[in-house]
Structure 1
Amino acid sequence: MTGVVAPTAPQTGDARVPERRRALAAVLGGLGVSEVLAGVVLAVVVRWSFDTALDSFLVTNGLMGLTFATCGAVIAWHRPANPIGWLFIADGIGHATTAVGAPLSQLLHDRATPIEVQRVVATIISWSWPWSIALFLPLALLLFPNGHLLSPRWRPVAIGIVVTAPFFAVEMGTGPGALFEGGPNSYLQLPSYDALQPLWTATEIRGLIAYALAIASLVIRYRRADDTGRRQLLWLLLATVVMLLVMAPWALITGTPVFVLLAIPLIPVAVAVAIVRHQLLDIRLVVSRALTWALLSVLAVGAYAALVAITDSFVSTRFGRSAVVTVLIALLIAPVLPRLQRLVDRAMYGDRRDPARVASLVGEELSSGVAGGMPGVVEAVRSALRLPYVAVSANGSLLASAGVAGTVVPVDLSYGGTTVGSLLVGLRSGESGLSQTDRNVLTLVAVPLAVAVHATRLSTELQTSRERLVAAREEERRRLRRDLHDGLGPTLTGVAFTADAAANLVSTDAERASELLSTLRTDTRAAIADVRRLVDDLRPPALDELGLVGALRQRADALSWRADGASVSVQVSADGLPPLPAALEVAAYRIATEALTNVVRHSRATTAVLTLRCDSALEVLVTDDGPPNGAWRPGVGLQAMRERAAELGGAFEAGPSPSGGRVHATFPMATP
């Protein structure tokens, strides 16, 4: 309900309808401007002074007609489907007609034009401008900014404004008297006008109620609006604040002169900017300053009035009123301004001047759980700083986001000297970058966020590792089942059948029984070989028979020849190793034997050295003197070694070095 409604293509199939609407808007807006210019020309012809033009409302009506018509044409041009533009055009034409009518009436009177013509012009003047005040402007405010009512419940309000608007026009158009001294009376004047005073009073109250309801609608829209809608509404708020700054002091102190009405044209200008170009600048900063000075002005006026009343009878005769009051007001306002500015800034920019509060909100959201609390964190930061968009990303993916993304500035999240993610912050409308105040708050917030992102990543990696372990376990079980079912199972079944057959033939056909026993021995040996193969796959038996160092030396002796027949000298250096956990022994053995096998198969090395060291961590290092052949392409062997190291929380690296190939793996002694 709060976004700007873009013009949509008509359903009639005529693509020229929007262009016709734009042309109509330009023509009607030009009509209002032309009337104002004609009024200025006629004022020069009848030789009106500026004071006369001001007193006859030519200046005020002309300026309002010019701004409402122009701004309405701009809105209708860019948003033809939004009725606010058309209402403003009608409002501007009404004021412009009154503006041109005032000097025209004077000119007709001076040149003794027939009285009927003069009375027609006077009637048009009296009846043209009231519609702008009673109908077009309150209805436009009720529909601001998207051209739709706040909800269907507000439809009776709009209908009430439309139905009761003629009463104000009748009140203004039927009143007695001439426009200027000696001028003609207009038509449609009521002889019993004064007797209807209760009706006119009700009409005035109706106008106040209409504008009060329009303002209430805007307040409700602001509370429900998103960031874009609030920026649009703030433009109108800024114009209203400035208008009140101009009009309120005069109304409270000396009465309202005519020229304060010149502040009213700020309303159509603000509405046009809000609908067409609301992102022109950071309106919140401007409104913040304007609200501060508006409140301060009201405070100063009130203080001035109170102090004048108090000091009038005590100090005016001795010290002079104005000097004392000015000094006292200055002393009162000096400490109020900073506090007032902080209150307004908090309403517009949230808690950005209170970083501790923002950090506390982030901590509360994180305490709900790392994974579950991240969406709450970004929403808390966005709400606390009144930002249009906040998100947290890691490894190129969004962990959580809130708001609508526009221009985004990243803030690095660092943990342990490493960037673990980014806090993506959307810039407010009109900003080209983050202010230092915002950056200070976000820097403070980035510390717990970085810890949370790091914890989230570790949690994700742990879950992934668990899933991989479960998958590997199930695959290993599947492989064992297949090997037992397809290999060992049929062999043992054949052994059983052969044994039964030999038992049956031993007394009747000894020769055939002997042949079956020979087959039985062969099948039994095959079954034993299958069992040994399965056992070796689970854990190399050499580790239990010879230990890690003995098993590696045995394996090194078996890898002394390359495929081309050249010999390879493999040395094993592993003195003083303490007893190791079984999982660590298997991982070190598999990595070392795979690395030595790669040396024999793929390099042209003549010497390889396997070194095992153990201090706070177990270190496995395999080096060779083979010539460099460029970067190593990752294959199944390298990937398997890397995975074995990662499973036990270790690190792995492999590749060419200036002196030959190098494979290096480290394992923490306190294995997971």
Structure 2
Amino acid sequence: MTLGRMLASGLGAVVVAGTGAAVVVVWRLGWTWQQALDAFVVTNSAMALAFAVCGSVLAWHRPRNPIGWLFLVDGLGHATTALGAPFTDDPLVATIAAYAWPWSIGLFLPLALVLFPDGRLPSPRWRPVVVAIVVTAPLFVVEMAADPAGSAYLTLPWHAELGPLWIVSEVRTLAALLAGIVALAVRYRRGEDAVLWLLLAASVAAAFVVPWSFVSGTPVFVLFAIPLIPIAVTIAIVRHQLLDIRLVVSRVLAWLLLSAVVLVVYGLLVALLDRFVSAQLGRSVVATVVVALLVAPVLPRLQRLVDRALYGDRGDPARVVSRVSEHLAGSGLAGVVSAVRVALRVPHVALTASGVSLASDGTRAENVVVVPLEYNGEVVGELHVGVRTGESTLGAADRNVLSLVAAPLAVAVHATLLSSQLQASRERLVTAREEERRRLRRDLHDGLGPTLTGVALSADAATNLLATDPDRTRTLITGVSADVRTAIADVRRLVEDLRPPALDELGLLGALRQRAEHLVRTPLQLRLDVPDAVPSLSAAVEVAAYRIATEALTNVVRHSGASSVVVRLRCAEELEVEVTDDGPPNGPWSAGVGMQAMRERAAELGGGFEAGPTAGGGRVWVRLPVEVP
């Protein structure tokens, strides 16, 4: 056991023992319940136990968090006052009892609210607030303890004459508590759902305690609401996912609002009926009936307002879909996930496709629900939605909203993926074009260029030797002739690479037939299944069909081990080319350079491509539009 845990356990035990001693003392003195209540023994004992036990639990589990220690000292002050209450005839005991508890309410409790839940301020701008709470705390202590009515020391004889100052003190204490509630609201706005526990408890306690501070005659038992605060703090820090706190807050707020409406309406009706209706008609009964009739339809509306504040627009799916559509048209996927998170009041929303995050918003939650996004029967992405703190999963209303949002999101993700693929295709096309240009430049510079330069030099030399050395001239001219033939072969090769001349000379069918006969030799048998003629095709389609077919035939000759190959060509609304062989199956095909080139040639024209083993051998199939889009 660490020193911090030992100290927390020891302080908690001291407070529990002191509270037990106070109970034993008042019982031995024969005090009645009302006497103990009027002397604040009961309320101080309840607050001492609540703060001490909760402070011990917090300091045990979170020793670095100052909130637990603040609660322990708070409980120690209340326990001291409860134990000293029966002995207030002794001036020293009365002084200690009087000055012990005000620090708890005026200093330790507001500080705990501001520092909740991690022991740090919401921001550096809150430092002046903490300083003000600490500096002004003695004013509240003096107001509560310096009343000369008792037998305590350190009293002020003119205490009653300082009424305006004590009003300032009460306002100060209320402002300190409200500062803590504002700090909780700030944290909640940031998405820290755990503060709802304390926000609920602090609001309920304030609703009960504020009248006790300003309205004389308020029953003492309203102070029993204060222990709700340490209990809520402990649950929020140690077990914040105990239950759906949003549902609790929703129902409590709706009840409080409705109660306030009932009181106001009832008061107005009683005043009106008292003025205009005689006592014989039973005005109180009439007022009650009228109030019930007026309030009955109000509760559902109040509940919808509260639910909207806590759960967002999940009760209005059309509104959520409208927001999503607006952000799709404006700020894109990033705006969409932000709109979904804000609309449903969830801590985290992310949009992924193929394991890659497209957009996200909020802090990732421990519990996440995944909603698949389907387009045309295919899952194109996923929507990851963080579950609210205190909930185990999303409710049916949330899922209904997400099912409606999933359809437009799936379309957006599909469009985004298509756009990315198009961009990647364009980049590959640009890269291929630049590579082709670099190859042509290299071939012209390193091959054809030196050859033609040699031809020019040899021709000049032959011209100079024509009259003096005919034999040498003849030799040079023979070399020039050979170099020219080499240059012509290089030019033909370059032209062949740009566009096969056979396409212009023989057409697509004739060029395929010629190339197939050149590539295929016995024992590999070739069969061409082509029509007698094809309609006029664009140059791009002809080249793509020719290149893909010849590349497929080359792969059959080199790698398939087949005994026969069939080339089929059909042309109607689209041009289809298929190359099949009867080679033995050897597993899935690996996508090499040739395969990738065939696929890209088809894709850049808006066509389709398939290649792979079949039950009877290998198959390459391509579909190309007759006209390039």
Normalised by the length of structure 2, the TM-score is: 0.93
**Cα distance 1:200–1:82, how it changes in 2: closer, same or farther (>3 A)?**
farther
* Residue in structure 2 matched with residue 13 of structure 1 by the alignment: none
Q: Secondary structure at the match of 1:387?
A: coil
| Structure 1 stretch displaced more, 199-208 or 66-75 | 199-208
Q: Does 1:328 align with 2:290?
A: yes
Task: Provide the C-alpha distance between the structure 2 equivalents of 1:203 and 1:212, rounded to a whole number of angstroms.
Answer: 14
Query: Residue 129 of structure 1 is aligned with which of 101, 119, 123?
Result: 101
Q: Does 1:287 align with 2:244?
A: no
Q: Does 1:43 align with 2:26?
A: yes
* Residue in structure 2 matched with residue 72 of structure 1 by the alignment: 55
**Cα distance 1:253–1:332, how it changes in 2: closer, same or farther (>3 A)?**
farther
Q: Which runs of 5+ in 2 are unaligned?
A: none
Task: Provide the C-alpha distance between the structure 2 equivalents of 1:632 and 1:343, rounded to a whole number of angstroms.
Answer: 61
Query: Residue 383 of structure 2 is aligned with which of 388, 409, 423?
Result: 423
* Residue in structure 2 matched with residue 505 of structure 1 by the alignment: 465
Q: Secondary structure at the match of 1:428?
A: coil
Query: Residue 440 of structure 1 is aligned with which of 377, 392, 400?
Result: 400
| Structure 1 stretch displaced more, 64-73 or 308-317 | 308-317
Query: Residue 459 of structure 1 is aligned with which of 419, 440, 464?
Result: 419
| CA positional deviation for 1:290 | 1.0
* Residue in structure 1 matched with residue 358 of structure 2 by the alignment: 399
Contact 1:552–1:572 (CA under 8 A) maintained in structure 2: no
* Residue in structure 2 matched with residue 631 of structure 1 by the alignment: 588
**Cα distance 1:670–1:354, how it changes in 2: closer, same or farther (>3 A)?**
farther
| CA positional deviation for 1:390 | 0.9
**Which one-letter code corresponds to 1:335 in the other structure?**
P
Q: After superposition, what is the alpha-carbon deviation per residue over 1:127-179, rounded to whole angstroms, capped at 9, x for unaligned? A: 2222222222233334334434455554444344333333433333343445x
Q: Secondary structure at the match of 2:565?
A: strand
Contact 1:171–1:200 (CA under 8 A) maintained in structure 2: no
Task: Provide the C-alpha distance between the structure 2 equivalents of 1:24 and 1:537, rounded to a whole number of angstroms.
Answer: 87
Contact 1:280–1:429 (CA under 8 A) maintained in structure 2: no
* Residue in structure 2 matched with residue 202 of structure 1 by the alignment: 165
* Residue in structure 2 matched with residue 378 of structure 1 by the alignment: 337
| Structure 1 stretch displaced more, 415-424 or 388-397 | 415-424
| Structure 1 stretch displaced more, 233-242 or 162-171 | 162-171
* Residue in structure 1 matched with residue 446 of structure 2 by the alignment: 486
Query: Residue 186 of structure 1 is aligned with which of 143, 149, 152?
Result: 152
Q: After superposition, what is the alpha-carbon deviation per residue over 1:166-218, rounded to whole angstroms, capped at 9, x for unaligned? A: 3433333343445xxxxxx334455x3xx332424412422322322441454
Q: Which runs of 5+ in 1 are unaligned?
A: 1-15, 107-114, 179-184
* Residue in structure 1 matched with residue 142 of structure 2 by the alignment: 170
**Which one-letter code corresponds to 2:109 in the other structure?**
L
**Which one-letter code corresponds to 2:253 in the other structure?**
L
**Which one-letter code corresponds to 1:165 in the other structure?**
A
Task: Provide the C-alpha distance between the structure 2 equivalents of 1:242 and 1:514, rounded to a whole number of angstroms.
Answer: 116
* Residue in structure 2 matched with residue 342 of structure 1 by the alignment: 304
| Structure 1 stretch displaced more, 518-527 or 129-138 | 129-138
Q: After superposition, what is the alpha-carbon deviation per residue over 1:427-455, rounded to whole angstroms, capped at 9, x for unaligned? A: 11122222121112222222222222222
- Identical positions, percent: 60
* Residue in structure 2 matched with residue 30 of structure 1 by the alignment: 13
Query: Residue 236 of structure 2 is aligned with which of 238, 254, 274?
Result: 274
**Cα distance 1:633–1:555, how it changes in 2: closer, same or farther (>3 A)?**
same
Number of equivalenced pairs: 628
Contact 2:347–2:362 (CA under 8 A) maintained in structure 1: yes
| Structure 1 stretch displaced more, 629-638 or 129-138 | 629-638
**Cα distance 1:132–1:244, how it changes in 2: closer, same or farther (>3 A)?**
closer
Task: Provide the C-alpha distance between the structure 1 equivalents of 2:209 and 2:176, rounded to a whole number of angstroms.
Answer: 21
* Residue in structure 1 matched with residue 225 of structure 2 by the alignment: 263
Alignment of 1:648-663 (within 5 A): 648-663=605-620
**Cα distance 1:584–1:176, how it changes in 2: closer, same or farther (>3 A)?**
same
Contact 2:197–2:236 (CA under 8 A) maintained in structure 1: yes
**Cα distance 1:533–1:516, how it changes in 2: closer, same or farther (>3 A)?**
same
| CA positional deviation for 1:263 | 1.3
Q: After superposition, what is the alpha-carbon deviation per residue over 1:458-515, rounded to whole angstroms, capped at 9, x for unaligned? A: 2211211111111111111111111111111111111111111222222222222112
Contact 2:208–2:222 (CA under 8 A) maintained in structure 1: yes
| CA positional deviation for 1:540 | 1.0
Alignment of 1:506-585 (within 5 A): 506-562=466-522, 566-585=523-542
**Cα distance 1:627–1:149, how it changes in 2: closer, same or farther (>3 A)?**
closer
Contact 1:119–1:187 (CA under 8 A) maintained in structure 2: yes
Q: Secondary structure at the match of 2:194?
A: helix
| CA positional deviation for 1:359 | 2.1
| Structure 1 stretch displaced more, 289-298 or 35-44 | 35-44
Query: Residue 602 of structure 2 is aligned with which of 608, 623, 645?
Result: 645
Contact 1:568–1:600 (CA under 8 A) maintained in structure 2: no
Query: Residue 301 of structure 1 is aligned with which of 263, 275, 282?
Result: 263
| Structure 1 stretch displaced more, 218-227 or 517-526 | 218-227
Task: Provide the C-alpha distance between the structure 1 equivalents of 2:123 and 2:612, rounded to a whole number of angstroms.
Answer: 69
Task: Provide the C-alpha distance between the structure 1 equivalents of 2:200 and 2:101, rounded to a whole number of angstroms.
Answer: 25
| Structure 1 stretch displaced more, 544-553 or 453-462 | 453-462
Task: Provide the C-alpha distance between the structure 2 equivalents of 1:259 and 1:608, rounded to a whole number of angstroms.
Answer: 98
| CA positional deviation for 1:589 | 0.8
| Structure 1 stretch displaced more, 62-71 or 595-604 | 595-604
| CA positional deviation for 1:100 | 2.0
**Which one-letter code corresponds to 1:47 in the other structure?**
G
Query: Residue 560 of structure 2 is aligned with which of 603, 612, 637?
Result: 603
**Which one-letter code corresponds to 2:609 in the other structure?**
F
Q: Secondary structure at the match of 2:31?
A: coil
Contact 1:389–1:401 (CA under 8 A) maintained in structure 2: yes
Query: Residue 591 of structure 1 is aligned with which of 538, 548, 552?
Result: 548
Q: Does 1:102 align with 2:85?
A: yes
Task: Provide the C-alpha distance between the structure 2 equivalents of 1:207 and 1:246, rounded to a whole number of angstroms.
Answer: 15
* Residue in structure 1 matched with residue 437 of structure 2 by the alignment: 477
**Cα distance 1:134–1:252, how it changes in 2: closer, same or farther (>3 A)?**
closer
| Structure 1 stretch displaced more, 588-597 or 157-166 | 157-166
* Residue in structure 2 matched with residue 144 of structure 1 by the alignment: 116
| CA positional deviation for 1:541 | 1.0
Contact 1:388–1:428 (CA under 8 A) maintained in structure 2: yes
**Cα distance 1:71–1:204, how it changes in 2: closer, same or farther (>3 A)?**
farther
Q: Secondary structure at the match of 2:280?
A: coil
**Which one-letter code corresponds to 2:138 in the other structure?**
P
RMSD: 2.7
